[in-house]
Structure formats: C-alpha cells, structure tokens
Amino acid sequence: MKFGTKTIHAGVHPDPTTGAIMTPIYQTSTYVQRSPGDHKGYEYSRTHNPTRTQLQDALAALDNGQHGLAFASGMAATDCIVKLLKPGDEVISTNDLYGGSYRIFTKVYEPLGIKFHFVPMHDMASVREKVNERTKLIWVETPTNPLLNVIDIAAAAAVAKEAGALLVVDNTFSTPYLQTPLDLGADLVVYSLTKYMGGHSDVVMGAIVLKDDELHERLRFLQNACGGTPGPQDCFLVLRGLKTLHIRMQRHCENGRAIAEYLQAHPKVGKVYWPGFEQHPNHEVAAKQMRDFGGMISFVLDGDRKEDAIAVLEKLELFALAESLGGVESLCGHPATMTHASIPAEERLKAGLSDSLIRLSVGIEDVEDLIEDLKQAIG
Ligand SMILES: *Cc1c(COP(=O)(O)O)cnc(C)c1O
C-alpha cells in the first residue's frame, strides 16, 4: 500500500458492532467479563483501549514497523524509552536536542545515575568518540530543533549496531511522510504526535514505533506499569489528523521552500537554516534520507541583534507567536526564551543557537499571504 492510502486506511477497520466507518471513541475505563478472566481482549483502559489500539496499529503501518505504542505526550514516550536503562548506562545524543528531551535527560535521569553525552551528531566522528561498552542508546533527532542540522540515520545505525546500543530517532519534525527511520536501521522511532502527526494544534500526545517483538513487550510492560497512556478522545483526534498527513506535509514542504527562498533573498535577513538549500552543510544527507525538506525554518536578522528579532516577532500577524509547531496554522517563536530556555545560555551558544534566532513553523495557508506577513514585519 502506498503512503497516502495508508494514512487513510492502515490499522483502522469499521466498528464490528455497528459498522461505523470511523473509529469510535471508546470512552470507558473497564470492560465486562463473562466469567473471571473470560473477556474480549480488553480488561482496563490503561492496559488496552480499542480506540488506542487502532491508532497504534495505524502508527506502526505508517513507519513500516510492527508495533506502535501511544502515550499521553511525546515526553511520556521518551520517558518510557529511557526507563529501559539502568544506572551506569550511557546515552549519546545531539547537542541541539529538543529542550524538553534535554531537560528530562539531565534533570531527571542524570541524577538517577545515567550518563548523557551531547555531541554535534551531524559529525558522526563526534559520536564514535563517546562510544564505549556502557553505551546503551544513541538518540538522534533530525532535522534538529531549531538549527535544522541533519543527522545521517543510516550512519548512526551502523555506529549503534557496532556498539551493541539501540538507535532511537525522534522523528517529530519529519514524520513518516519525509523519512522512515526503521527502514534506515533505527530500532525505535519516537514522536510527539502533538506536532505534524496530529497536525491541528488540538491535542498533546506521543508514540513509539518499532519492529522488534521482544523490545515491544518490554516497552508495553512499561507503558502499562508506569501509566503514561492517552485517553481515547485524544487517540481519536490523532487518528483523524493522520488521514490528511500526506497532503498537509506536501503543502508544508511547498510553502517551506517558498518562504526559505524569500528569506534568503531578503536584504535584511542573515543566515537562513533550511535543509533544502544546496549550500546547507548536510544537504546531501537530507536529500538521501528525506523525501522533501519540511516546513521548519530558522533565521537570524542581519546584525544578529536580539531586539530586532523580538520586534519582528511582535509585528508578525498571521504567524502566531507561540510554542509548538507542525499545525495547519503558521507559528513563529524565539527559541532562546521559549522552547529552548531550559538549556543553559552557554550550552545554547556553544551549539550555535543565537539569541536573535527566529523559528518558523510554516503552515498550510496560501503562501502569498504568509510572505506578505513576513514582508510587513521585517520591512
Ligand atoms: C514537542 C517535541 C517533543 C515533546 O513532545 P510533547 O508532546 O510536547 O511532550 C519531543 N521532541 C520534539 C522534537 C518535539 O518537537
């Protein structure tokens, strides 16, 4: 089945009792048993819920995996994966990681005895340098947020395999429309479904997709034991969002290209970060592993002054100033004070994230209107 057909049909089936074509919201916590232990596969909704099951199956199909696991947020999914580790284990990740992932790693798991190395992962030699017998996870996010560096997933998979570590790819920015990490050798794909997958800025959810049965059993155990599971209404919203993933992503990419090119040609704009540019340092890797380049763009203004960036953000009208990304509507943000404020200033600057950086999540509006808005704000 091709991707656009899968977004609509994979994992879901008409309701067996009524024929309802859309997956019902099974708003129930428990299920009646005929006799103790004699039930229809559902006992308690933290463990299983039919709406969640269909979403999990749809997610597995979209990423060419065998199993999907849905969580109450992207962070709950991340948390579940890190719980596979023990004190003394080590993780290698990228130095311009999503701020919330950096926070859970350093503030929650480091004090519990797990060691994290943050390296510029678009240079795979920096990963190899940190590999040792205690390395258990290699955690990739690509393109990175907000600097849009691209990490070579197949190369990271080779390093992980040699080290006997699991490769995790946070695929939130790309979605399976742009890249399917399991096909490139990743062991686990993790999502914030809150972003492009849900796509409508109306739900917070997360997921893990994988192939391996044994690893799935361990994660499913943790999902139920720790209980970070989503409610059925949220699962329904993501199922609904997924049905248009392919056409939304196509438009995000088209609009992203037009805006990246507009910004790059603008005399008052400095560096523009977008992996679709041929001169982007990782463009070759991006072109190899991605189907297109997405709608996330970061840029700085000429002169690189924070006050100028704030002024532009205040003037933008169609681009709403808000955290998050990946919805149908365009958003803008200031990573240094918003999404990445939990990363110390020194670490931020080391990773190249300047205080004047503006991040755009380009929506699926008519691009002429978006460009008009940028024109009036930048001047
Ligand atoms: C938003 C986001 C997360 C966290 O997801 P939540 O749903 O907000 O918990 C993780 N990784 C990336 C890349 C994100 O953008």
Identify whether residues 69 and 97 lie together within a single domain: yes
Pairing of strands 269-273, 206-210: unpaired
Helix/strand/coil for 77: helix
Instruction: Count CA within 13 A, CB hemisphere, residue 207.
Output: 33
The 3 state secondary structure assigned to 203-272 is: CCCEEEEECCHHHHHHHHHHHHHHCCCCCHHHHHHHHHHHCCHHHHHHHHHHHHHHHHHHHHHCCCEEEE
Q: Look at ligand 1, atom 6, and give the residue with the nearest C-alpha.
A: 74
**Global model pTM greater than 0.85:** yes
State residue 346's pLDDT score. 85
State residue 74's pLDDT score. 98
Identify whether residues 33 and 136 lie together within a single domain: yes
Q: What percent of the chain has pLDDT over 90?
A: 92
Successive 10-residue mean pLDDT values, the chain, 379 residues = 96 94 97 95 96 98 98 98 98 92 96 97 95 98 94 98 98 98 98 98 98 98 98 98 98 98 97 96 97 97 93 97 95 90 81 89 98 97
Which residue type sits at 179?
Q
What digits encode the pLDDT tens for the residues 271-316?
999 999 999 999 999 999 999 999 999 999 999 899 999 999 999 9
CA angle 11, 16, 17 (to 5 degrees): 145
- Domain boundary pick from 208, 240, 272: 240
State residue 180's pLDDT score. 98
Instruction: Count CA within 13 A, CB hemisphere, residue 105.
Output: 24
State residue 345's pLDDT score. 84
Distance 215 CA to ligand 1 centre (A): 22
Question: How many structural domains is the chain composed of?
Answer: 2
Would you state the torsion angle of the CA atoms of residues 313, 315, 316, 320, taken in this order, to the nearest 10 degrees? 70
Q: Which two tokens stand for residue 52?
A: 């969640």
Identify whether residues 187 and 259 lie together within a single domain: no
Q: Look at ligand 1, atom 7, and give the residue with the nearest C-alpha.
A: 74
Identify whether residues 56 and 167 lie together within a single domain: yes
State residue 350's pLDDT score. 80
Identify whether residues 196 and 289 lie together within a single domain: no
Ligand 1: nearest atom to the Cα of 141: 13
Identify whether residues 199 and 267 lie together within a single domain: no
- Domain boundary pick from 193, 213, 240: 240
Range of the domain at 193: 3-240
Identify whether residues 359 and 294 lie together within a single domain: yes
Neighbouring C-beta atoms of residue 4, cutoff 10 Å: 15
Instruction: Give the torsion sign (CA, 262, 246, 298, 318).
Output: positive
Under 8 Å between Cβ of 330 and 365: yes
Identify whether residues 179 and 265 lie together within a single domain: no
- Distance (Å, whole) CA 97 – CA 120: 10
Q: Look at ligand 1, atom 2, and give the residue with the nearest C-alpha.
A: 192
State residue 339's pLDDT score. 79
Under 8 Å between Cβ of 376 and 348: no
Identify whether residues 117 and 63 lie together within a single domain: yes
CATH code for the domain in which residue 323 is found: 3.90.1150.10
CATH code for the domain in which residue 103 is found: 3.40.640.10
Distance 340 CA to ligand 1 centre (A): 12
Identify whether residues 33 and 148 lie together within a single domain: yes
Distance 206 CA to ligand 1 centre (A): 8
Question: Measured from the CB, is residue 26 less than 6 Å from ligand 1?
Answer: no
State residue 341's pLDDT score. 80
Question: Which residues belong to the active site?
Answer: 46, 98, 170, 195
